[in-house]
Structure 1
Amino acid sequence: MNDRTENLLLALPGLLLLVLAFFLPIGQMLVLSVTGPEGPLAPFARFLSDPYYLGILWRTVRLSFLITLICAAIGFPLAYIMTKVGPRLRLWLVVMVILPLMTSVVVRTFGWMVLLSRSGLIPEMLRDMGLVGRNFALMQTETAIVIGMVQVLLPFMALSILGVLTRIDGRLEEAARTMGCSFLQTIRMVVLPLALPGIVAGSLLCFTLSASSFVTPNLLGGTRIQVLAASIYKSVTTTPDWPFAAAQAVILFAGIALVLVPYIKMTGAKHG
Structure 2
Amino acid sequence: MTNRREAWLFLFPGLALLVLGFILPIMRMLVLSVMGPDGVTFEHFARFFQDGYYPSILWRTVRLSLVITALTAAIGFPLAYITSRVGPQARLWLIVMVILPLMTSVVVRTFGWMVLLGRSGPLATMLREMGLVGRSFSLMHTESAIILGMVQVLLPFMVLSLLGVLTRLDPRLEEAARTMGCSFLQTIRRVVLPLSMPGVVAGSLLVFTLSASSFITPSLLGGARIEVLAGSIYKSVTQTLDWNFAAAQSVILFFGLALVLIPYLRLGARHG
The one-letter code matched in structure 1 to 2:122 is L
Between 35-44 and 201-210, the greater mean CA deviation after superposition:
35-44
The Cα of 1:264 is off from its aligned counterpart by 5.0
Are 2:194 and 1:232 aligned?
A: no
The one-letter code matched in structure 2 to 1:187 is I
Q: Tell me the equivalent position of 2:13.
A: 13
Q: Tell me the equivalent position of 1:80.
A: 81
Q: Tell me the equivalent position of 1:210.
A: 211
Rounded Cα–Cα distance in structure 2 between residues aligned with 1:265 and 1:161: 19
Q: Tell me the equivalent position of 1:176.
A: 177
Between 262-271 and 34-43, the greater mean CA deviation after superposition:
262-271
The Cα of 1:45 is off from its aligned counterpart by 1.1
Rounded Cα–Cα distance in structure 2 between residues aligned with 1:244 and 1:87: 52
Rounded Cα–Cα distance in structure 2 between residues aligned with 1:118 and 1:58: 28
The Cα of 1:87 is off from its aligned counterpart by 1.1
| CA deviation map 1:54-113 (0-9, x unaligned) | 110000000000000000000000001111211111110100000000001011111111
Are 2:28 and 1:28 aligned?
A: yes
Structure 2 unaligned spans of 5+: none
Structure 1 unaligned spans of 5+: none
Matched residue SS, 1:223: coil
| CA deviation map 1:174-230 (0-9, x unaligned) | 111111111111110000000111011000000000000011001111111100010
The one-letter code matched in structure 2 to 1:233 is Y
The Cα of 1:263 is off from its aligned counterpart by 4.8
Rounded Cα–Cα distance in structure 1 between residues aligned with 2:16 and 2:81: 40
Rounded Cα–Cα distance in structure 1 between residues aligned with 2:87 and 2:132: 39
What is the aligned-residue RMSD (CA, Å)? Answer: 1.6
Is contact 2:48-2:249 (8 Å) kept?
yes
Q: Tell me the equivalent position of 1:154.
A: 155
Q: Tell me the equivalent position of 1:220.
A: 221
Mapping of residues 87-166 of structure 1, within 5 Å: 87-166=88-167
Q: 1:5 to 1:269 in 2, by over 3 A?
A: farther
| CA deviation map 1:1-42 (0-9, x unaligned) | 432222111110111111111111111110000002376111
Q: 1:206 to 1:197 in 2, by over 3 A?
A: same
Q: 1:205 to 1:90 in 2, by over 3 A?
A: same
The Cα of 1:48 is off from its aligned counterpart by 1.7
Is contact 2:68-2:147 (8 Å) kept?
yes
The one-letter code matched in structure 1 to 2:11 is A
Q: Tell me the equivalent position of 1:40.
A: 41
The Cα of 1:250 is off from its aligned counterpart by 0.8
The one-letter code matched in structure 2 to 1:25 is P
Rounded Cα–Cα distance in structure 1 between residues aligned with 2:271 and 2:142: 42
- What's the TM-score, normalizing by structure 1? 0.95
Q: Tell me the equivalent position of 2:259.
A: 258
The Cα of 1:265 is off from its aligned counterpart by 6.1
Q: Which aligned segments of 4 or more residues in structure 1 are displaced greater than 6 angstroms?
A: none
The Cα of 1:259 is off from its aligned counterpart by 4.3
Rounded Cα–Cα distance in structure 2 between residues aligned with 1:48 and 1:172: 52
Kindly, what percent of the aligned residue pairs are identical?
A: 72
Is contact 2:71-2:151 (8 Å) kept?
yes
The one-letter code matched in structure 2 to 1:36 is G
- What's the TM-score, normalizing by structure 2? 0.95
Q: 1:267 to 1:147 in 2, by over 3 A?
A: closer
The Cα of 1:114 is off from its aligned counterpart by 0.9
The one-letter code matched in structure 1 to 2:178 is R
Matched residue SS, 1:72: helix
Number of residue pairs matched by the alignment:
271
Is contact 2:201-2:268 (8 Å) kept?
no
Matched residue SS, 2:36: coil
